Amino acid sequence: MSLKSALMVAALGGAFATGASLAQQPAQNPMDVVPDKMPFDVPYGAPISLDHAQAAINAAAAESKKRGWKLNIAVVDSGGNLVAFARQDGAQLASIAISEHKARVAAKFRRETKALEGGVQSGLNYLLTLDDVIASRGGIPLVSDGKLIGAIGCSGGTGSQDEVVCKAGAATINK
C-alpha cells in the first residue's frame, strides 16, 4: 500500500470514528435549558371584583350569542375561586365544570390554557403529571395594572370557539 493510500485509509477511519462518537452523544434535552427570566412571571393582585367579573361574562356571552354558540362561562379570582358564572340556554352540562377548571388553571398557572395544550401537543407530556392541569384552550388570565386579578374560562364548543369567546370577555380587563 502506498503512503498516499495509507493516509487516505487513516483519514477515512478517523472520520468514521468521529462520526460514530458524535452519533452516540445524546441530543440536548430542551428541558435542560435554563432561561434568564421566569416565564409567565405576572404577580398576583387583589381579587377581581364582582362587577368586573360580570362585565367579562357579559362581553363573552354577547360574543357567544352573536355567533350562535351555547357556552358556559366562568370567572375566578386571583386565587382560583369562582366569582361569577353564566350558563347559556342549551349549553352542554359537562362544560359547567370544565369552564371553571379552565379559568382556575389560567389563574393558578398564570398563563392561557392554550400554552398547556401546546406543550402537551409538542411532547411535553410531563405537564399531564401536574396537579389541576387542563390542556385545552379557553382559559385566559385577567390582568389589571400588571397584576393577575383572576381568569376567565369558557367551555361547550370546540377549543377554538371557547378561546374566541374567552378573548372577548378578557378584553374588558386586559387592555
Q: Which residues are CB-contacts of 158 (< 8 A; sequence separation ≥ 6)?
A: none
Model confidence at 172: pLDDT above 90 = yes
Model confidence at 33: pLDDT above 90 = no
Q: Which of 6-20, 63-77, 152-166 has the lowest mean pLDDT?
A: 6-20
Model confidence at 16: pLDDT above 50 = no
- Indicate the residue type of 164: V
Q: What is the mean pLDDT of residues 9-17?
A: 48
Measure Cα distances from 39 to 48, 69, 154 in Å: 23, 34, 24
Q: Which of 44, 84, 42 is nearest to 169 (CA)?
A: 84
Give the residue carrying C-alpha cell 385566559. 140
- What does the pLDDT read at residue 12? 47
Mean predicted lDDT score pLDDT of the chain:
89
- What does the pLDDT read at residue 110? 96
* Chain centroid offset of residue 25 CA: 32
Q: What's the number of CA atoms in the CB half-sphere (13 Å) around residue 89? A: 3
pLDDT band at 32 (very low <50, low <70, confident <90, very high): confident
